[in-house]
A and B are shown apart, each in its own frame.
Chain A
Amino acid sequence: MTHLERIDQIIDKHQAEPSLLIQVLLDIQAENHWLPPEALDRVAERLKVPMARIRHIATFYKAFSLTPKGRHEIHICMGTACHVRGAQRVLSSVEDLLGIRPGETDLELKFTLETVNCLGCCALGPVMEIDGRTHGKITPSQTAEVLKNYE
């Protein structure tokens, strides 16, 4: 199946319904780890929504990325409970280690760093989640060890 055929399949799954635009984009993002421009053109065409609206949505909502993301997504929880337990220092140490800030991807496309506003694991705060794996009660001094394990 070509890339465009796959996009069409996703659009069809949501009946090309304009009010389901966000659901369509979520599915495209999940599959590609970003929103490629030709996918957005196709969505605009088939759902009959203005490109301006798609671009607003793609930049308004955190789930979407207009640039490709790294192989591993690091999510550091900055929720209030984690904040109070020192999440900012964990974030600073990861920023220093990788040389990128939240929202950025490193040059080798290995890591994308994101902050999230509550993973719902407050008992384990501070929390760093990578590829769905939760590292709880993490301290700044432990971050280097954890990141070393990812290729």
Chain B
Amino acid sequence: MSPIQLQIDGRTVHTEAGATVLAAAQKAGISIPTLCHHEKLEPYGACRICTVEVESGGRTRLVAACLYPVEEGLVVRTRSPKVDKIRKVILELLLAHAPDAPALQALAEEYGADRNRYEKEASFCIHCGLCVRYCAEVKKLNAVGFIDRGMRREISFVPEIASQVCWNCKECFPLCPTSALQAAYVLVEGLLGSTRGGNPE
């Protein structure tokens, strides 16, 4: 792995080729907010809150830090009026779903996001995908997945698998930033009733 030198917020940072801007920043103690990122999982790039400005070859772009590969001489700005606006709007859009989610409160305050800017939406899932990806990549069970697309996209437990494995696992529960996962599980539990194996009741 060859060494790479880049600039983040005016500081010179050293890392290796193949690293992401997020990893380089974290290593240097520079914080970039994330919602869908987890060190045990492949980067997902869905929440877009880690958006940063990068400059290379005379071109400035807005990219997801969790996925953008470092380059020699890259200049990164983790805060700017543009970046801050993007984060504020993303938070406002998510607060419409989960206004009380703990993961969003501190960020909302920092970026001046107004939880009432948009009408409340029915589901509190923010589609970070942590539950789905954890079950697929770490547990390799695929007990919960996404269904449908666009605004109708949702997380959904696969009843035949969930009934066998979830009760004794629930490792994804602490990952959920909004309790939408727990709600989805309670729903499927209700459907499964007494067909679940290993029910302590």
Which A residues touch B147, using CB under 8 A?
A: 55-56, 59-60
Given A50-B142, A52-B143, A52-B145, 18 extra CB contacts under 8 A: A50-B136, A50-B145, A50-B158, A51-B142, A51-B160, A52-B132, A52-B136, A52-B142, A52-B144, A52-B158, A52-B161, A53-B142, A55-B145, A55-B156, A56-B145, A56-B147, A59-B147, A59-B148
Q: What's the interface size class on A, roughly? A: under 10
Q: Which of B152-181 contact A (CB under 8 A)?
A: 156, 158, 160-161
- 25 A/B residue pairs, CB under 8 Å, sorted by A: A50-B136, A50-B142, A50-B145, A50-B158, A51-B158, A51-B160, A51-B161, A52-B132, A52-B142, A52-B143, A52-B144, A52-B145, A52-B158, A52-B161, A53-B142, A55-B145, A55-B147, A55-B156, A55-B158, A56-B145, A56-B146, A59-B148, A59-B149, A60-B147, A60-B149
| Consensus secondary structure, chain A interface | helix
Assess the A60–B145 pair: CB atoms within 8 A: no
Contact with A along B53-92 (1 / 0, CB 8 A): 0000000000000000000000000000000000000000
Which B residues touch A50, using CB under 8 A?
A: 136, 142, 145, 158
Q: Which residue of B lies closest to A62 (CB)?
A: B149
Which A residues touch B132, using CB under 8 A?
A: 52
Which B residues touch A60, using CB under 8 A?
A: 147-149
Contact with A along B130-148 (1 / 0, CB 8 A): 0010001000001111111
| Cβ-closest 4 pairs across A and B | A52-B145, A50-B142, A52-B142, A59-B147
Which A residues touch B143, using CB under 8 A?
A: 52
Which A residues touch B136, using CB under 8 A?
A: 50, 52
Q: Which residue of A lies closest to B146 (CB)?
A: A56
Query: In the bound complex, what is the Cα–Cα distance between A51 and B144 (angstroms)?
Result: 10
Which B residues touch A51, using CB under 8 A?
A: 142, 158, 160-161
Contact with B along A49-78 (1 / 0, CB 8 A): 011110110011000000000000000000
